[in-house]
């Protein structure tokens, strides 16, 4: 069996040992000729996959080690009998960690309490549901909006978008859908912004084009938005510098980049490939994950609960470092910025999920909130 795989899928070479002949390349360096004589493709979101790559190919199985699939022409794959798999849900815990870190950082820096604040979560699937759980644990009022889930389940916990508009925070966790009744392209638009609560905070960790850059800038300039946390950008890897300058927290599309999420994604696509070709090999995440550097944390007594938790979180993941790293792009020549952005993602340092912290010692006033910030590992 011949396999074409993106070299930046973590541990991919080790995972593919003994499974056949593997060609390992950076996704952006692949050409249609690389796809000609292969049986399986394991890619990432940096590489589009469709007719151009597959027209002259013998591929039987294709996959992406990512949650989003808007870079894949799934209609083409289906019409040509090519099996497909993604890593849906692989980074949900990592993104929930990121949103938790951003909320605590905002609350500490701006000097407010999260308890009693409202957050509207647009998209309540793998990621949104976990973000909701964390936010409830932090004492926030959570409103969920997810029209597809509402239609499928009839559950009234999924509320109309009108109820989201009045929230203190609005956090997007949707796929990018370009048309149709559930279109999310430029969901955050000028019209949307005109109806939100003045001074609201936008958090976008979904897809860059879910929020219209010009609408976000206008909302920030007018005060309709007080702050924005932006991890995903229109036009990646050529990101809009004006929005970078105005965002409270700006990061290079790494919310879901905890090492657990990356290894989980690798495991999902490799095992899906093995299942498709009826191979007995299965990958186990435990064989690839290093021991965490931080397994015990002690919460102090001085300062607000949010600031104390923010300091604790920084011991595992310091979101300000990612923000500072991305802002360095402004000192880079414009022609080199896309490469710089890609490099930040490609060479991202090892980051652990908060659930790897095994022991948290906290005073009584912070004990309950700690359980939301540092949850037990999911089984």
The catalytic residues are 207, 236, 253
- Return the half-sphere exposure (C-beta side, CA atoms, 13 A cut-off) of residue 138: 30
SS3 of 297, please? Answer: strand
From CA 297, how far away is CA 371, in angstroms rounded? 12
Euclidean distance between the first and the last CA atom of the chain, given in angstroms as a whole number: 33
Strand partners, 42: 5, 63
* Cβ atoms of residues 319 and 327 within 8 Å: no
Structure tokens at 58: 């013998």
From CA 60, how far away is CA 31, in angstroms rounded? 18
Output the DSSP codes for 167-223: -SEEEE------SSTT--TT-B-HHHHHHSPTTEEEEE-S-GGGB-HHHHHHHHHHT
From CA 162, how far away is CA 145, in angstroms rounded? 9
| CA dihedral of residues 321, 324, 325, 331 (deg, nearest 10) | -170
From CA 130, how far away is CA 143, in angstroms rounded? 13
Tell me whether strands 249-250 and 83-85 are parallel, antiparallel or unpaired: unpaired
**Which residues, including other chains, have CB under 8 Å from residue 3's CB and lie 6 or more apart?**
16, 19, 20, 21, 22, 23, 38, 39, 40, 41, 42, 273
Long-range contacts of 185-191, Cβ-Cβ distance < 8 Å, separation of 24 or more = 185/209, 185/210, 186/210, 186/211, 186/212, 186/215, 187/122, 187/211, 188/212, 188/215, 188/216, 189/215, 190/214, 190/215, 190/218
């Amino acid at each position: 069996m011949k396999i074409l795989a993106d070299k930046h899928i973590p541990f991919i070479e080790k995972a593919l040992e003994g499974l056949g002949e593997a060609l390992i390349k950076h996704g952006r360096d692949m050409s249609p000729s690389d796809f000609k004589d292969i049986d399986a493709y394991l890619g990432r979101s940096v590489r589009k996959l469709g007719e151009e790559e597959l027209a002259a190919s013998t591929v039987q199985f294709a996959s992406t080690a990512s949650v989003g699939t808007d870079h894949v022409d799934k209609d083409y794959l289906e019409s040509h009998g090519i099996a497909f798999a993604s890593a849906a849900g692989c980074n949900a815990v990592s993104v929930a960690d990121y949103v938790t870190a951003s909320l605590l950082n905002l609350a500490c820096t701006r000097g407010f309490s999260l308890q009693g604040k409202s957050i509207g979560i647009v998209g309540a699937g793998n990621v949104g549901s976990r973000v909701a759980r964390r936010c409830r644990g932090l004492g926030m009022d959570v409103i969920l909006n997810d029209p597809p889930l509402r239609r499928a389940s009839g559950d009234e916990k999924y509320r109309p978008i009108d109820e989201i508009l009045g929230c203190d925070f609005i956090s997007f966790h949707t796929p990018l859908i370009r048309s149709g009744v559930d279109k999310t392209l430029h969901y955050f638009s000028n019209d949307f912004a005109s109806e939100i609560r003045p001074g609201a905070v936008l958090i976008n960790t979904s897809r860059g084009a879910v929020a219209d850059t010009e609408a976000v800038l206008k909302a920030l300039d007018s005060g309709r938005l007080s702050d924005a946390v932006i991890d995903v950008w229109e036009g990646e890897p050529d990101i809009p510098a004006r929005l970078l300058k105005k965002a409270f927290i700006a990061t290079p599309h790494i919310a879901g980049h905890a090492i657990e999420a990356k290894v989980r994604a690798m495991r999902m696509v490799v095992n899906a490939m093995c299942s498709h070709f009826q191979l007995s090999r299965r990958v186990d995440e435990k064989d690839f994950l290093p021991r965490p550097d931080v397994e015990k944390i002690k919460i102090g007594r001085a300062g607000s609960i949010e600031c104390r938790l923010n300091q604790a979180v920084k011991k595992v993941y310091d979101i300000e470092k990612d923000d500072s790293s991305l802002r360095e792009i402004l000192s880079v020549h414009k022609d080199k910025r896309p490469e710089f952005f890609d490099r930040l993602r490609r060479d991202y340092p090892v980051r652990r999920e908060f659930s790897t912290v095994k022991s948290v010692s906290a005073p009584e006033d912070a004990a309950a909130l700690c359980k939301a910030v540092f949850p037990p590992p999911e089984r």
